[in-house]
Amino acid sequence: MWAGMEFGTVTGSDVLELIGMYIDLIEEVRDESRDDYLFYDTERAGEIARDIWNILDDPQKTICVARDGGCIAGFIAGEVQSCCLFPLSRAGPVGYVTAAYVRPAYRRKGIGRRLESMLVHFFQTQGAAYAELGVMSKHRAAKESWTALGYATFREQMRKRI
């Protein structure tokens, strides 16, 4: 299943490739959902690099990657934060999946499942009891994938154009 695949955490030499993968992720979700949030100014794409470097420097954040030779096949990013719904909650810190993407040629091979497992382990070592994430309501493939990994809707976020 993962013959020749290496799993680990992101390094500085991965940043340029990850920028491209983040853009691929944004464009894939945008094309399926047609959501205004995912239309972006291409000249600002460099800000993704800054965000990735910040993750590398923050012990509460990580990016796990799957490498096939010299190519990143997939990644998952996450951070541990206090419960934002109810700061006084006994739940304590929560692991939040901020992004995940597996290149189309590598999908349906268990790579996303393995990456998610690595990220959950990171969350647990940081004291989190829950893993949470946001999914665009029209992104069916993502909703199906996360549900297969055991995630369930526990709240819904609404918005209104003003």
Q: How far apart are CA 117 and CA 42, in angstroms?
A: 32
Mean of the per-residue pLDDT values of the chain:
86
Instruction: Provide the whole-model pTM.
Output: 0.87
**Residue 153, domain member (yes or no):** no
Residue 155 lies in a domain: no
Mean pLDDT of the region 16-32: 84
In a domain, 91, yes or no: yes
In a domain, 157, yes or no: no
Residue 150 has pLDDT above 90, yes or no: yes
Find the CATH number of the domain harbouring 135.
3.40.630.30
Q: Mean pLDDT lowest for which of 9-13, 20-24, 86-90, 149-153?
A: 86-90
Instruction: Answer yes or no: are the C-beta atoms of 73 and 103 closer than 8 Å.
Output: yes
Structural domains of the chain, count = 1
Determine, yes or no, domain membership for 136.
yes
Residue 162 within a domain: no
CA–CA dist 31, 22 (Å, integer): 14
With H, G, I as helix, E, B as strand and everything else as coil, classify residue 100.
Answer: strand
Nearest to 98, CA basis, from 132, 129, 66: 132
pLDDT for res 120 = 98
Domain that holds residue 55: 5-148
Task: Identify the band that residue 122 occupies on the pLDDT scale cut at 50, 70 and 90.
Answer: very high
pLDDT category at 2 given cuts 50, 70, 90 is low
Question: At 109, which helix (H) or strand (E)?
Answer: none
Determine contact, residues 42/26, Cβ cutoff 8 Å. no
